[in-house]
Amino acid sequence: MTHPAVIDELMALVDPGKVLTDPASLEAYGKDWTKHYAPAPTAVVFPKSVEQVQAIVRWANVHGVALVPSGGRTGLSGGAVAAHGEVVVAFDQMNRILDFNAFDRTVVCQPGVVTAQLQAFALEQGLYYPVDLASSGSSQIGGNIGTNAGGIKVIRYGMTRNWVAGLKVVTGQGELLELNKDLIKNATGYDLRQLFIGAEGTLGFVVEATMRLDRAPRNLTAMVLGTPDFDSIMPVLHAFQGKLDLTAFEFFSDKGLAKILARGDVPAPFASDCPFYALLEFEATTEQVAEQALATFEHCVEQGWVLDGVMSQSETQLNNLWKLREYLSETISHWTPYKNDISVTVSKVPAFLRDIDAIVSAHYPDYEVVWYGHIGDGNLHLNILKPEHMDKDAFFASCTKVNKWVFEIVQRYDGSISAEHGVGMTKRDYLGYSRSPEEIACMKAIKAVFDPNGIMNPGKIFAPEQKQ
């Protein structure tokens, strides 16, 4: 526990009232969406400037205090959890859009800018920020960069990494680095910007980001298609990709749809009940594009890959179809799900899911399992729902036992144990299933360069070193 006099020093570094130590604040800011770990920070500090962030990091080095970054706290891997007396550095007060360049299509953001705030700003300029997440209304740009967030548009637009033109970061020693300076072409050695994207705050804190924007999509149109089995989804994807430039291709199971419909605020897409559903989106810029989509749908029906389907005819219907997918994570949170966020190359998805599903069914015959994910980029979300009356800790302990078998399959398919949620605390013990010992050694060496005293989000990505 950090001594009160040391906390008094911290208070002197920021604006009055910007260090909180009351139990409610420690509880709220010491956790993310995971429920695996009890939050136990010593304090929460709210810097308002780059200089204040540098002062906090230097203070932490002097006193050996661990720092945990906090954004929207929507993470699903424990990356923003402070469970061991750390000081949480919350970026809520650094939430301004600082600059916009219409010619370069770039916008300069502080790390606390909410994703939806950036999306709305882009639309006001007639442009588009394409990284779209279920948590867009609360996740922050700094957190998105820290986890290299993906979301529902990756098939067309890629990950957050693709949209970061430049970064200003404060390293674990309190140094301020300006990385890439917003250049499109820059062949001057190592691109240190990319190291900080996906580093989960273990190398330093993002204090400013220049984000690229794109043209706004025109007449977005969605289709929801019901399929007789999962294997049918892949030829449907192949058929539509051969004819249209898709902006999204998602899937969800009948169990997931049932949870959404039980909410009562979203209508069923059509009368038929199907084991699996695909949601695809494209720009219907002309009547010919819409006709091509319908012709491809009819071809898929003729092949037996699709049983039923619907295409949006209005923006309201487009939004309702998307709710069938986007509401899933929030809806099933009632059951305290045990989540796995895994990926392989797209061509391997059907066999990969079959193998994973067989393991889960064999070991969890009494648990309800909900599958959904970004099938167009090979990312599957496996959600095992906690029985209503089962103790949470007992449930998580039960699910953890099978991780070894699940991740052995991931390793066999050359996949990733974390496609877009990061490693954090929940996946750190399994990093070796996706990364070689040599890679992990290099990653640790990189951390030692930027954070030699090990104060930046310790215990995340890497399992704690065993004491001799």
Of the residues 93, 123, 139, the one at which a domain ends: 93
* Segment 357-392, tens digit of pLDDT: 999 999 889 899 999 999 999 999 999 999 989 999
The answer to whether residues 86 and 105 belong to one domain is no
**CA–CA distance, 297 with 467 (Å, rounded to integer):** 60
Give CA–CA dist 392/384, Å, rounded: 12
Calpha distance 227→452 (Å, rounded) = 53
Assess whether pLDDT exceeds 80 at residue 3: no
CA–CA separation, 48 and 99 (whole Å): 17
Whether residue 14 is contained in a domain is answered as yes
Q: How confident is the model at residue 466 (pLDDT cuts 50, 70, 90)?
A: very low
> Looking at the domain assignment, is residue 433 inside a domain?
yes
Question: Rounded mean pLDDT of 329-337?
Answer: 91
Q: Does residue 348 share a domain with residue 300?
A: no
State the chain's mean pLDDT as an integer. 95
Shared domain check, 116 and 41 = no
Per residue in 178-197, pLDDT tens? 999 999 999 999 999 999 99
Q: Closest by alpha carbon to 20, among 93, 88, 91, 112?
A: 88
Q: Which of 58, 93, 128 is the last residue of a domain?
A: 93
Give the residue from 312, 329, 346 where a domain finishes.
329
Residue 466 located in a structural domain: no
Q: What percent of the chain has pLDDT over 70?
A: 99
Confidence grade of residue 401 (pLDDT, cut at 50, 70, 90): confident
What's the whole-number mean pLDDT along residues 90-104? 98
Beta bridge partners of 114: 140
Within a domain: 398: yes
Residue type, 440: I
| Residue 126 within a domain | yes
Q: Are residues 101 and 205 in the same domain?
A: yes
CB burial string 136-168: b at 16+ within 10 A, e below = bebbbbbbbbbbbbbbbbbbbbebbeebbbbbb
The confidence band for 467, taking pLDDT boundaries of 50, 70 and 90, is: very low
Phi, psi torsion values for 317, nearest 5 degrees: -65, -35
Residue 356 domain boundaries: 336-438
Q: Do 89 and 31 fall into the same domain?
A: yes
Co-location of 250 and 319 in the same domain: yes
Element (H, E) at 291: helix 287-302
Beta-sheet strands, E only, within 159-265 = 164-171, 176-179, 204-212, 214-215, 220-227, 246-253
For residue 379, the model assigns a pLDDT of 96
Q: What stretch of H or E contains 309? A: strand 308-311
Within a domain: residue 457?
A: no
Instruction: Report yes or no on 309 lying in a domain.
Output: yes
Classify 184 as helix, strand or coil.
coil
Angle, CA of 98, 101 and 107, to the nearest 5°: 45
Q: What is the CATH number of the domain that holds 324?
A: 3.30.70.2190
Q: Tell which residue, 22, 27, 15, 97, has the closest CA to residue 56.
A: 15
Same domain, residue pair 319 and 345 = no
Q: Say if 461 falls within a structural domain.
A: no
Phi/psi at 335 (5° precision): -95, 10
Count of domains for the chain: 4
- Stretch 406-412: mean pLDDT: 96
What type of residue sits at position 460? Answer: K
Q: What CA–CA distance (Å, rounded) separates 254 from 231?
A: 15
The pair phi, psi for residue 305, each rounded to 5°, is -85, -25
CATH of the domain at 21: 3.30.43.10
32 pLDDT above the threshold of 90: yes
User: Two tokens at 459?
Assistant: 């215990």
Radius of gyration of the CA atoms of the chain, in A:
23
Q: 241 with 323, same domain? A: yes
In this structure, the answer to whether residues 61 and 130 fall within a common structural domain is no
Domain identity same for 76 and 33: yes
